[in-house]
Amino acid sequence: MAKLYVIYKIRPFKDAELYPIPKLYAWTVKKKILNQFKEERDMTQFIVKSKPIDSENSSQQWKIEKFCLENNQTQLEIRSMYTKDKIYSQKKSIVNVLCTWNELQWVYTHGDGIYEELGRFVTDKYLCLQDNLKEALDKIGYREARDFQLAKLSEMYFESVSKSEEVDIDVDEFGMFLYAFGSTFK
């Protein structure tokens, strides 16, 4: 008999008084996916509940389908993310990670925010720097942040096609994922 596995995040002690009910974190109907989650994540932070899925019971079937549709952003799936091969490398590769859409969405949302924040420190003095200093700044992504900010400030930014979409912005998605959710791993 198939099962629905629902994973809840245990709230930190200070939040437990305000929010005594654990928060829905993820779900899956695949035992293999659940086992991988258990292997990778720190299970002291999670509670797993399972519910048998009775294919003969249409009322229960409807409730489970409704739950899955309403919580589709918390479904566990293998998703692809970009990462840099070395810390200051420009070469990218793809890693497959078991995560929810909510986790991946956080990475996408905050990845753009990094360039917004870095853009506050953009200066045209970059053009006057010696090549070795430019190269060092390029390794940490300064040029990309500068190009992004300058594109936003240009007149084309306000046209129907955003100039910032033409700028090659590389965010280490996997690095950001680990920054945000690394504490949930073993």
- The 10s digit of each residue's pLDDT in 11-20 is 776 665 676 6
Q: What is the DSSP letter of 41?
A: B
Q: What pLDDT band is residue 68 in, cutting at 50, 70 and 90? A: very high
What is the reported pLDDT for 118? 60
Rounded Cα gap, residues 87 and 38, in angstroms: 28
Q: Which of 25-29, 32-36, 37-41, 156-160 has the lowest mean pLDDT?
A: 156-160
- The 10s digit of each residue's pLDDT in 22-33 is 889 999 999 999
What is the reported pLDDT for 55? 83
Please report, for residues 10, 103, 104, the alpha-carbon distance to residue 72 in angstroms, rounded to integers and kept in the order given. 20, 12, 13
- The 10s digit of each residue's pLDDT in 44-63 is 999 999 999 888 888 888 99
**Stretch 81-102: mean pLDDT, rounded?**
83
H helix or E strand, kind and range, residue 65: helix 58-70
- The 10s digit of each residue's pLDDT in 111-152 is 767 666 665 666 667 677 788 887 887 777 777 777 766 666
Q: Which of 4-8, 36-40, 58-62 has the lowest mean pLDDT?
A: 58-62
Q: What pLDDT band is residue 157 in, cutting at 50, 70 and 90? A: very low
Report which of residues 157 and 56 the model is more confident about: 56
Would you mind telling me the total number of residues written for the chain in this entry?
186
Residue 40 CB contacts under 8 Å (≥ 6 apart), including other chains: 98, 185, 186
Rounded Cα gap, residues 162 and 153, in angstroms: 11
Q: What is the residue extent of each domain of the chain?
A: 3-75, 99-184
